[in-house]
Chain A
Amino acid sequence: MDETLLIGDHKVPSRLIMGTGGAANLEVLERALVASGTALTTVAMRRIDAVTGTGVLDLLRRLDIEVLPNTAGCRTAAEAVLTARLAREALGTELVKLEVVADERTLLPDPIELLDAAEQLVDDGFTVLPYTNDDPVLARKLEGVGCAAVMPLGSPIGTGLGIRNPHNIEMIVEQAGVPVVLDAGIGTASEAAQAMELGCDAVLLATAVTRASDPERMAHAMRLAVEAGRAARQAGRIPRRYWAQASSPDVDA
């Protein structure tokens, strides 16, 4: 039996964590979420709009999907801490996907602000899942201040460039004592499978599904890919060889 993903003391029954950004509308989003089989899904915190109200939240509650608020849009530790506290008040969860990005062009995490915010939020009782660079040293420091998971990027948010530095992801996995979630950059199913083959415990993605031509079908593909990649990791792949090795008996044997 496969063990359940445990983030802090939250049991997460799926290893595909979804985002909700980029979906054309709530109907498309609902079909994609259901097809993905996800049990944990991110939302952003913004000023309430009289028209949309709390629509996303109502949808996630109806689908019985646990909500993971993020701090998207925050540039400093102070902004991220305030946003996380507002999310905890609004949603009644101490889970937070911590995002502190350096600039709009790359959306890459600002490691100094990120570590500062992570430490403050852990001290304040949050279960912190930081979106981080694919930097093994930073990942170790985030775990050191008490983060419940580390979430290295495969490539910048929304690029669909896949996993640009698989070796770094493997090093992060090798040393981590908390779950490693590959977050950002996934473009298609093979890349989600690769993340799991590298030893990640889960994959977090949004754009690859929500902006696909057929989000529902891509969500299904991602679900299968995460399952396949994890099974392959557990099965143990063959070593790479330089020369061929016949898989059929010799003809004169």
Chain B
Amino acid sequence: MQVWINGEQRELADGARVPDALAALGAPENGVAVAVDGEVVPRAGWPTVALTDGARIEVLTAVQGG
């Protein structure tokens, strides 16, 4: 299936979960937060929430600012 991760289209296996999306991005699991279609996915839900075709996944972390 096709998903959007941080604005880039990527191919993930059907039934992929949040950790698969992080791996595709090369992102660590610590120090990041994930939103799918504008809703925060709590860390506890990462292994269980199934991503769907066309999902828009945002992976954020802390950067210099403020």
Contact = CB atoms under 8 A, between A and B. Distances in A.
Interface of A: 19-23, 29, 42-50, 52-54, 56-58, 67-70, 72, 82, 85-91, 97, 99, 206
Contacts of A54: 28, 30-32, 61-62
Contacts of A87: 33, 60, 62
A40 to B, nearest CB: 11
B40 to A, nearest CB: 5
Contact of A82 (B26, B28, B40, B42): B40
B65 A70 contact: yes
Contact of B62 (A22, A67, A97): A67
Contacts of A70: 65-66
B63 A45 contact: yes
B58 to A, nearest CB: 7
A49 B62 CA distance: 10
Given A42-B65, A48-B6, A88-B33, 16 more contacts: A20-B64, A21-B64, A22-B64, A46-B60, A47-B60, A54-B30, A56-B62, A68-B66, A70-B66, A72-B66, A82-B35, A85-B40, A86-B35, A90-B32, A90-B61, A91-B31
B13 interface: no
A21 B33 contact: no
B6 A47 contact: yes
B61 A206 contact: no
A253 to B, nearest CB: 58
A21 B31 contact: no
Nearest to A19: B66
B50 interface: no
A97 B60 contact: no
Interface of B: 6-7, 25-28, 30-35, 38, 40, 42-43, 58-66
Contacts of A97: 66
Contacts of A86: 33, 35, 40, 58, 60
Contacts of A67: 62
29 contacts: A21-B65, A21-B66, A23-B64, A43-B62, A43-B63, A44-B63, A44-B64, A44-B66, A45-B33, A46-B63, A46-B65, A47-B59, A47-B60, A48-B61, A49-B63, A50-B27, A54-B32, A54-B62, A56-B64, A72-B66, A82-B35, A82-B38, A82-B40, A86-B33, A89-B42, A90-B32, A90-B33, A90-B61, A91-B62
A53 B60 contact: no
Which of A58, A86, A99, A206 is the most central at the interface, judged by chain B CB atoms within 10 Å of its CB? A86
A89 B36 CA distance: 13
